[in-house]
Amino acid sequence: MSRRLATMRTSTEQQVAAHPSLSPWWRSAVVYQVYLRSFADSNGDGIGDLAGLRSRLPYLSWLGVDALWINPHYPSGGADGGYDIADYRAVDPDYGDVADLEALVADARRLGLKVVLDVVPNHTSDQHPWFQAALADPEAPEASRYHFAPASEEPPNNWRSLFGGPAWSRTPDGRWYLHLFAPEQPDLNWRDPAVAADFEKTLRFWLDRGVSGFRVDVAYGLFKDAELRDNPGTYSPTLFGHGPEQAMTWNQPEVHDVWRRWREITDEYPDTMIVGEVCLADPQEVALYSRPDEMHQSFCFRLLKSGWDTEAFADGVRSALDAFGSVGAPVSWVLGNHDKDRQVTRFGGGALGTARARAAALLMLSLPGSAYLYAGDELGLPQAVVPDEAKTDPIFFRSGGARAGRDGCRIPMPWNDTAGVGFSPDGAADPWLPIPADWSGYAVSAQTRDGGSMLTLYRRALALRAAHPALGSGEARVETAGDVLTVHCAGDDETVRCVVNMGTETVLVRTTGTVLLASSTSVRQSAGSIALPPNTAAWISED
Ligand code: GLC
Ligand code: CA
């Protein structure tokens, strides 16, 4: 029987599994996360903006990604990098206006790129008109859209802010209000139907403007224990991976109904999707947010949290494949984002960290599912040291300086080797975060010309991933032998092995296959084997 006939006789579902081209784009998309404030400044005020991003779309298309997710672009109180939103259906004047966003979406579409926006439903800015109305009048209808408690000596319970300190602050008239993040980010009360109704309006506002979906901030939040009971355990000040010790603040069962409703809304708009930030310790719990009638995807943060360790990586990959597989959702792999130290630095810094980040990129891009790349990781940017006086992150301030904060992974992008690295036009104001003196060494312009650069590696990897469905859309099987991690990615016509040497000795991989791509020129192929030095990876096509 011909292949074509065989395909016609299978069910639609099987066809989709066997033929990635028929499957929705987001299941295997490479999504590039744009930190808007730091991407490209068009008007010289030292702040990245939508027109700047628009001018750099050809770069993203050349790089070979499928979509971009833009960190919050909304008018904001500026207390948490835009995650404190004052108006959900507008654009912050720092970034442009709604027409700029529409123009961006249109240009992106012409280049074959989708645009995904960030939406923040757990909390608003304290500058939001609702919170202002609630402050002015405790009886205002807006007051029930937040969590207020009557004036008293002690806060209503033991809940802590993820950024440090208590999760309750006082209003000028002595009431308490809840903020699981900064005090400028009051938590919304999702038990008030006006909240859900307004977010539905917001989703439609942007979907009607042609965006392809949303990344949902703190999607495991929204609802809190209705009786505000104390959390049972010790608070751990990490951003990712909450467990039973915070049972009253996160992961309440009611939240799943919100995602069911949001799924219905996006289902009205073809080819759109929602990806949730779900920072729960148990991957099975995370996957539940991506059941067929909920969000399309939820981030898998296990690799982002793993050190350079074979078992940690293998377990991260296996547990995610199992968990998401059990609900029929693709895994959304993440190695870097705007909340975590840069990969190169996490993996040991310098040449060592860079070698490992190169190998990790090949690992992530081989795995079935979608892959989220954080702007600047394709350049191998390290975590920058930001002087305390230039820091903006509330984590730094609320921890009394004990935690460095996240500014160091949010430095403006280096585009060329001029003094200002091409982030702003000549003669512009200082960039909103200081750019390290050696940043031009990482510039896009130089790396484009260098066949051995991180950027060239990413570009080749993305081109191969698009050309070989075994990569990104195959069936994956994970294997470890000592410090060698192997992922067998089986496609219809080809199996590609991604082999990563996480140990300290060179290993010989027996194969008659062909090396599609290696993370380093030190990877050598000879008759019947490939020599893989420490901290390198290779993609080997077995047929
Ligand atoms: C998410 C964002 C982070 C933000 C927090 C509060 O974790 O990724 O940047 O600070 O939510 O909105
Ligand atoms: Ca600007």
- Diameter of the chain measured on Cα atoms: 79
Q: How confident is the model at residue 238 (pLDDT cuts 50, 70, 90)?
A: low
Q: What angle do CA 373, 376, 382 make, to 5 degrees?
A: 115
What span, in angstroms and rounded, lies between the C-alpha atoms of 222 and 192? 11
Q: Do 50 and 73 touch, CB atoms closer than 8 A?
A: yes
Region of poorest pLDDT, from 1-5, 114-118, 389-393: 1-5
Q: How confident is the model at residue 425 (pLDDT cuts 50, 70, 90)?
A: very high
* 339 close to ligand 1 (CB < 6 Angstrom): yes
Phi, psi angles (nearest 5°) of residue 269: -115, 110
* 84 close to ligand 1 (CB < 6 Angstrom): no
What span, in angstroms and rounded, lies between the C-alpha atoms of 495 and 504? 27
Residues with CB under 5 A from ligand 2 (ion): 41, 43, 45, 47, 49
- 518-534 pLDDT tens trace: 999 999 999 899 999 99
Query: Hey, what long-range contacts does 453-457 have (CB within 8 A, 24 or more apart)?
Result: 453/380, 454/354, 454/357, 454/358, 454/361, 454/378, 454/379, 454/380, 455/63, 455/378, 455/379, 457/358, 457/361, 457/362, 457/517, 457/519
The pLDDT assigned to 100 comes to: 98
Q: Taking 50 as the threshold, does the pLDDT of residue 498 lie above it?
A: yes
Give me the active site residues, please: 217, 268
Neighbours of 132 (CB within 10 A): 14
Query: Average pLDDT for residues 488-514, to the nearest whole number?
Result: 97
Report which bound ligand comes closest to the CA of 432. 2
Report which bound ligand comes closest to the CA of 96. 2
Q: Whose CA is nearest to atom 4 of ligand 1?
A: 83
The pLDDT assigned to 12 comes to: 37
pTM of the model: 0.95
* 120 close to ligand 1 (CB < 6 Angstrom): yes
Q: How confident is the model at residue 13 (pLDDT cuts 50, 70, 90)?
A: very low
Quick one: tokens of 74? 């909304």
Q: Whose CA is nearest to atom 7 of ligand 1?
A: 218
Domains belonging to the chain, first-starting first, are 30-124+193-465 (3.20.20.80), 129-178 (3.90.400.10), 475-542 (2.60.40.1180)
| Cα 470 to ligand 1 centroid, rounded to whole Å | 34
Beta strands in 60-219 (DSSP E): 67-70, 114-119, 148-149, 168-170, 176-178, 213-216
| Cα 277 to ligand 1 centroid, rounded to whole Å | 9
Quick one: tokens of 2? 């011909």
With the most atoms of ligand 1 within 8 angstroms of its CB, the residue from 119, 339, 403, 406 to mutate is 339
Query: Average pLDDT for residues 66-75, to the nearest whole number?
Result: 98
* 304 close to ligand 1 (CB < 6 Angstrom): no
Phi, psi angles (nearest 5°) of residue 484: -105, 125
With the most atoms of ligand 1 within 8 angstroms of its CB, the residue from 33, 35, 83 to mutate is 83
Q: How confident is the model at residue 233 (pLDDT cuts 50, 70, 90)?
A: confident
Q: What angle do CA 44, 50, 51 make, to 5 degrees?
A: 60
Ligand 1: nearest atom to the Cα of 279: 7
Alpha-carbon radius of gyration of the chain = 23
Give the mean pLDDT of the chain. Answer: 94
Q: How confident is the model at residue 244 (pLDDT cuts 50, 70, 90)?
A: confident
The pLDDT assigned to 391 comes to: 98
Share of the chain above pLDDT 90, in %: 91
What span, in angstroms and rounded, lies between the C-alpha atoms of 33 and 376? 9
Q: Do 252 and 225 touch, CB atoms closer than 8 A?
A: yes
* 83 close to ligand 1 (CB < 6 Angstrom): yes
The pLDDT assigned to 267 comes to: 98
Q: How confident is the model at residue 22 (pLDDT cuts 50, 70, 90)?
A: low
Query: Average pLDDT for residues 423-447, to the nearest whole number?
Result: 97
Q: What angle do CA 67, 70, 73 make, to 5 degrees?
A: 150
What span, in angstroms and rounded, lies between the C-alpha atoms of 40 and 47? 8
* 181 close to ligand 1 (CB < 6 Angstrom): yes
| Cα 424 to ligand 2 centroid, rounded to whole Å | 8
Q: Whose CA is nearest to atom 2 of ligand 1?
A: 217
What span, in angstroms and rounded, lies between the C-alpha atoms of 298 and 443? 32
The pLDDT assigned to 4 comes to: 36
- 118-171 pLDDT tens trace: 999 999 999 999 999 999 999 999 999 999 999 999 999 999 999 988 999 999
| Cα 154 to ligand 1 centroid, rounded to whole Å | 27
Q: How confident is the model at residue 3 (pLDDT cuts 50, 70, 90)?
A: very low
Identity of the residue numbered 185: Q
Question: Kind of pairing, strands 484-490 and 475-481?
Answer: antiparallel
* 219 close to ligand 1 (CB < 6 Angstrom): no
Query: Average pLDDT for residues 238-243, to the nearest whole number?
Result: 66
The pLDDT assigned to 369 comes to: 98
